[in-house]
Amino acid sequence: MRHNRIGFKMGIVIITLFLIVLVFLGFAIDRMFTNFYSAEMQKETEELTSHFTVMANATETTSEQTMKTFAEFSNVSIINILKNGKVILHSGTHDSADNAFIRTSDLQKIFSGEKVSLLYKDPSGNGYFVSGQPISDNGKITSALYVMSSTEQMERSLSGVRNLLLLSGIGAFLLAMGITWIIAMVLSRPLLQMEKATRKIAIGELEIRLDIKSKDEIGSLADAINDLAMDLQRYRDTRQELFSNISHELRTPITYLEGYSKVVKDHLYETEDEKERYLDIIYEEALRLQHLVDDLFDLAKMEEGKISLVFERLDLSDLVEHAVRKVELKAKEKNLRLSLDISGKAALVHADGKRMEQIILNLLENAIRYTEHGSIDVHVMYASTKVTLVVEDTGIGIPEEELPYIFERFYRVEKSRSRQFGGTGLGLSIVKMLIELQGGTIKVTSRLKEGTRFEIYFVLHPEMEEGRV
């Protein structure tokens, strides 16, 4: 398991990369030093050889002994050879029997006035920088002088450099290991926390929250997990609330149905009128149940996003006129005045006709339901960019502090009030959702005992305007 950790995998990758870079770097530095030293030593040997030849050329009096002393002093071996290969002078630590480095081609070059340089390793493994130059007498090349400078000193220095490189490489490697380990820990700790949190969320522990404050991708992932937990928690709570509301709402009509049908079935009434009253209650409660089931069905479809709206170009004033006509009778039964007023240059809206009628009817039915006397006024007002629909009543009104909640599911002002009027508490939440799904907005203002005013706005698109007033 440990080996599958992201920190471990990342550490391995970083360390491997680091090692590769380190090895290449070390190799390059070693090459650089070796080449530099070799070039310097070769140059030095050539310069020394020049000194020797100048010495031999300049004075006839330079004795072999002086050359030998100078060679000893310079820590080099010298060999002076005639054209026929005969060695006329040899000094230094180099074994005089070993002359494998003297090649005929080099000798030819030297006797034609050129200089030669080479690197030579003797049979016992000792390395030498060799430089060969001509010695002349009165302008005539008489012999070739080879100077051999041991590479031992250079190899000792190089091995010192290599040891230093190795030590700093090991140090850098250990440092990188430490830093990588820390980074891996820092990176993987929040990931492990998130893994634990999501597992807890999966088993329903939705109260869990992550406390990761970083502003990077890890921080935003933690925020997303917190949001998810919060949403799920809210969803669970509202679902529980919804279930208890639904069962409560169903229980009440069912209890009425059960009770009154038993009364009728067992003939527990005294007059026919009484029986009729009970049957009316049964009918009303059955209707209410039907209404509730329809509303719940609509709500469920909307919440799942499964409601399919059929958008078309609509004449809103036609729809409103139609709806007003439908509720006219109800208003008359309660002695309420119902008026409709359309103003402005009419235009078409882009909406679902059936749903739009449902919205208008719902507002009109609420207005009639919660108004005992007075009037219900409906206005359709067209402006250049929007159309406003107003449904205003002189009814019982809604207390100001309750206004923000009336669009919530099952929310009822004064709890028993709408039941007494036959409502389900779902109407306005469905109205709001339907309006928003069609791109509109709804607003409510109300004064207790004075009346309520609902306003709906829809945007008019210029290309939909129609030349009708």
User: Which residues of this protein are in contact with ligand ADP, per CB under 6 A?
Assistant: 366-367, 370, 393, 395-398, 406, 411-413, 417-418, 423-429, 452
Closest CB to ligand ADP among residues 188, 418: 418
- Tokens 């709206």 correspond to what residue? 309
Q: CB neighbours (10 Å) of residue 256?
A: 18
Of 188 and 366, CB closest to ligand ADP: 366
Q: Which residue is nearest to ligand ADP (CB)?
A: 423
Identity of the residue, 111 or 421, whose beta carbon is nearer to ligand ADP in the bound complex = 421
156: closest CA among 33, 28, 26, 32?
A: 33
422: region left, alpha or beta (phi > 0 left; psi from -120 to 50 alpha): left
The answer to whether the beta carbons of residues 149 and 73 sit under 8 Å apart is no
Count of positions (residues) in the chain: 469
Q: How many helices (H) and strands (E) does the chain have?
A: 10, 13
Q: Which residue, 338 or 426, has its beta carbon nearer to ligand ADP?
A: 426
Residue 11 or 397 with smaller CB distance to ligand ADP: 397
Shortest spacing between CB 428 and ligand ADP, in angstroms: 3
Smallest gap from Cβ 431 to ligand ADP, in A, equals: 7
In the complex, minimum distance from the CB of residue 318 to ligand ADP, in angstroms, rounded to a whole number: 23
CB of 360 to ligand ADP, least distance (A): 13
Question: How near is the Cβ of 358 to ligand ADP at its closest, in Å?
Answer: 12
How far apart CA 189 and CA 183 sit, in angstroms, is: 10
Cβ closest to ligand ADP, residue 351 vs residue 430: 430
Q: How far apart are CA 148 and CA 116, in angstroms?
A: 12
CB of 45 closer than 8 Å to CB of 223: no
Instruction: Give the residue with the Cβ less far from ligand ADP, 396 or 442.
Output: 396
Of the candidates 373, 378, 339, 337, the one whose C-alpha atom is nearest the C-alpha of residue 359 is 378
Sign of CA dihedral 96, 102, 104, 108: negative
CA 4 to chain centre: 22
Rounded to the nearest whole angstrom, what is the least distance from the CB of residue 236 to ligand ADP in the complex? 24
Q: Residue type at 301? A: K
* C-alpha atoms less than 13 angstroms from C-alpha of 363 in its C-beta half-sphere: 30
In the complex, the smallest distance separating the C-beta of residue 308 from ligand ADP, rounded to whole angstroms, is 23
Least CB distance from residue 390 to ligand ADP, whole Å?
A: 12
By beta-carbon proximity to ligand ADP, the closer residue of 64 and 294 is 294
Nearer to ligand ADP, 71 or 428 (CB): 428
CB 390 within 8 A of CB 379: yes
Q: Is 184 helix (H, G, I), strand (E, B) or coil?
A: helix
Q: Of all residues in the chain, what percent are helix, strand and coil, respectively (each to 5)? A: 55, 20, 25
68 versus 453: smaller Cβ distance to ligand ADP: 453
If you write DSSP's letter for every residue of 106-131 in order, what string do you get?
Answer: HHHHHHTT--EEEEEE-TTS-EEEEE
Task: Compute the least distance from the CB of residue 438 to ligand ADP, in Å.
Answer: 18
Q: How far is the CB of 339 from ligand ADP (least distance, A)?
A: 16
Locus of tokens 């310079």: 74
